[in-house]
Every structure is written in structure tokens, then in C-alpha cells.
Amino acid sequence: MLTRRLLEPFAVSALNTPLESASATLLAAIIRETLVLGGSACRPWYPSEGLSESFVDPAVAHLRRLQGEVHCGTRISGLDVQGGRVTGLKNGSDTIAVGPEDKVVFAAPSPVARSLLEAHLPGFSAPDAYESIINVHYRLSAPVKARGMLAKVGFVGLVGGVAEWIYLKNDILSVTVSAANRYTTWDNDELIATIWSEIRQAVGPVLVESLPQAVPPVRLVCEKRATFAATPAQDRLRPQARTRLENLALAGDWTQTGFPSTIEGAIRSGTEAIKVLGL
């Protein structure tokens, strides 16, 4: 009961990896900082609107206050390296010069890191196996009103089906399914219909208005490389923030943070990167 209702859903959500192949070390790191510390460390946080308002906009505003410039849509396509340091960042045919006092934190995802860094960092390794996450958003004809606990918290976790988390957001019912590589053989319509029937069964009884039997307008988003697979083998491929190049540090949830691929891990990686660069 404890495994089925708590440990398994907790592990699959935190690691985005099936229990059978996931790393116990990475799970232990999450358990140490949540369940072991008690209820106040287990409070779920989720954005009231989207991730942009919660994370991206405040981060960009903070960088601008520090006189930083943010260039969106500027893909780094290579690095110039001379004398053990990065001296330029290539953006197509342009090169951004990296001066003697400048430091570089490389925070692009692991496949990009492998393609751009392998040539400059002999023996470089990074995770190369991924797990997907599926989100399905159903739009209803009116805002969804719930009763009881669901009205208070706005989301509920399910076990025993495909849907794992259901969120109520005005007239949208959103569902998250982690470690979703196991559903690659399902077609989207099958997933959408199955999840809708689970929502009706699990959430329908506590809603003020009953849910329609027919699937409402819907959008399914499958992020194929949502996170690296949190297996012991993939964990061993994660590099440290410090590199052999004096002014280059690595950041990103895929670097060796001791955490699985999470926002918390990404934040810690950034802190570590600026520490190793002495910033």
C-alpha cells in the first residue's frame, strides 16, 4: 500500500523514470530533502499561471537590473578555444568575442553540450538517454468548480491508471503523465480517451457540474526528451561543473547535481557553476 500509493508515484514523478530502472541514489536525495524533513518540506509548488510569469520573467528582469543582456533566439553553434580558455562563442557566421576577464557558463541541454563540447573537452560525457512527459489539456465550456479538498488544493494525484496528476485551472483540466516512454506505442486518441475516462471517474464525483461524456476540445503535448533517464548508468555520465578550460563552467539539470532532472537541480547547478568560476 505504501509503495503503490506513495513511494511509486512519488518516485516516478520526481525521477521521471520507471521505478524498475531508476537510480535509488537519486531518489534518496529527493527523499532526504522532502519526506524525511516532514510535511512543510513536502508542500507542492506549482505556477498559478505559467512558467514564464513564475520563473522566466523575474529571471530576465533580474539580469537586466545587473546590466545583463538577454538575446533570445541566438543559438550558439560552436566555441573558439585557445590556450586553455574559451575566446569566442559562435552564432552561425558571427562570433561573440570572449575577453580575458570574461567567464562562460554553458547551460544548454546535454545533447547540445555533447555536440559543442566534445571536441574541446577530451573524455567529455553527458547523459544520452531520455524519458518523455505527456501533458494533456482539456478545455471545458465553463470554469471547473470542485467541492471539498479538491476545491482547496486545485489538484489531485491518481494511481492505477495512465493519468498521474490532474490540475484544475479555470476552464482547463490538465493532466501530467511522467516516465511516458512506456506509452510510445499508444496513439494520441487512445491516450486522450483513456485519460478523459479516468478524469471522469476520479474527479467527476467531486465537481459541482458533471463532466461531459464526450471528450472536450483537447491538446496533447509530448515532450520526448523531457529529462534524462534517471538511471544509475545515466547518472554516471553527468559531468561536474568545473571543466579543463579555465573560464568555462557547465550548468544545467544534467550536470552532476546529485539531484534528478528538476528545477531544483538546475538552480543548484547554476550556483555551482558561478562558484567554480569564482564569480
Ligand X SMILES: Cc1cc2nc3c(=O)[nH]c(=O)nc-3n(C[C@H](O)[C@H](O)[C@H](O)COP(=O)(O)OP(=O)(O)OC[C@H]3O[C@@H](n4cnc5c(N)ncnc54)[C@H](O)[C@@H]3O)c2cc1C
CA-to-CA dists, residue 124 to 30, 201, 228, 240, 247, angstroms: 27, 49, 17, 10, 16
266 CB-side CA count, 13 A: 12
Nearer to ligand X, 58 or 143 (CB): 58
Instruction: Assign 260 to helix, strand or coil.
Output: coil
Q: Does 262 bind ligand X (CB under 6 A)?
A: yes
- Contact string 164-203 vs ligand X (x = CB under 6 A): ----------------------------------------
DSSP bridge pairs for 194: none
Nearer to ligand X, 207 or 230 (CB): 230
Of the pair 211, 237, the CB lying nearest ligand X is at 237
Among positions 138, 252, 257, 268, the unique one binding ligand X when judged by CB under 6 A: 252
Query: CB-wise, 85 or 137, nearer to ligand X?
Result: 137
Q: Exposed, middle or buried, 146 (CB in 10 Å: 0-12/13-18/19+)?
A: middle
83: left (phi over 0), alpha (psi -120 to 50) or beta: left
Residues 73-132 binding ligand X (CB under 6 A) are 75-76, 107-109, 112
Least distance from C-beta 147 to ligand X, angstroms?
26
Is the separation of the CB atoms in 230 and 16 below 8 Å?
yes
**Residue 234 interacting with ligand X (CB under 6 A):** no
Number of H helices, E strands in the chain: 10, 10
Please, which residue, 85 or 225, has the CB nearer to ligand X? Answer: 225
Residues 134-153 that bind ligand X (CB under 6 A): 135
Instruction: Give the nearest distance from C-beta 187 to ligand X in angstroms.
Output: 20
Dist CA 197 CA 208 (whole Å): 18
Q: How far is the CB of 72 from ligand X (least distance, A)?
A: 9
Q: List binders of ligand X among 12-31 (CB under 6 A).
A: none
Total site size for ligand X, rule CB under 6 A: 18
Q: CB pairs under 8 A, 24+ apart, for 148-155?
A: 148/206, 150/203, 150/206, 155/44, 155/46
C-alpha cell, 48: 498559478
266 counts as binding ligand X under rule CB under 6 A: yes
Instruction: Name the site residues for ligand X (rule: CB under 6 A).
Output: 75-76, 107-109, 112, 133, 135, 223, 226-227, 252-253, 261-264, 266
